[in-house]
Amino acid sequence: MELKLLNRNIIYNGKVFTVIVDDVMYQSGNRSIREVAEHPGGSVILAVFPNNDIILIKQHRYPINKFIYELPAGKLDTNEDPLDCAKRELEEETGYIANKWEKLTAIYTTPGFCTEQLHIYLASDLRLSRNGRNLEEGEMTMTLEIVPLKKAIEMIEKQEIVDAKTICGILLAYHKLNKKNK
């Protein structure tokens, strides 16, 4: 490791993330401060129908004060398996259940300051849940849109989809599904 940890201070321990300030030393002997947002990670779901339509959600994001298009996703509970999280979030946010699951990848969202790792899944063989959607209070304005995968690519190109995890999931699924269809 390039850095030696000299001291760690937990500044804030919140519901979504913990803020840590580390005092570190380089191999040269120079000292520095590293600020880290520690996040448990989450799962992202690209749910695809047989005709290659996908489910997008549109929700308000408080930090940027905008409604944006995203793939269904959610934060991992303590010690939760990412696939279990994906299954839970798909049903809660969309009211759908998938019979087939395939992990596409895992990404670090902002490794310069945050530990968040998101696991991106392709979900298929969809059916409506008997339970329907089960939204949290902060998700009540969330809407669902079912769009062709090809249109989602166009939405990325037009900057109508700007969420990084969503762009990654859509592009990976598009590539994978096009390889299957050849």
Alpha helices in the chain (DSSP H): 82-94, 149-157, 164-180
Rounded to whole angstroms, the Cα distance separating 150 from 136 reads: 30
Identify whether 137 is a catalytic site residue: yes
Rounded to whole angstroms, the Cα distance separating 50 from 87 reads: 19
Strand partners, 26: 3
Query: What is the tally of helices (H) and strands (E) in the chain?
Result: 3, 10
DSSP calls for 110-141 = -TTTB--EEEEEEEEEEEE-SS-----GGGTT
Catalytic residue among 70, 93, 116, 137: 137
Find tokens 């448990």 and name the residue: 40
User: Helix (H, G, I), strand (E, B), or coil: what is residue 109?
Assistant: coil
Rounded to whole angstroms, the Cα distance separating 88 from 12 reads: 28
Indicate which residues carry an active-site annotation: 137
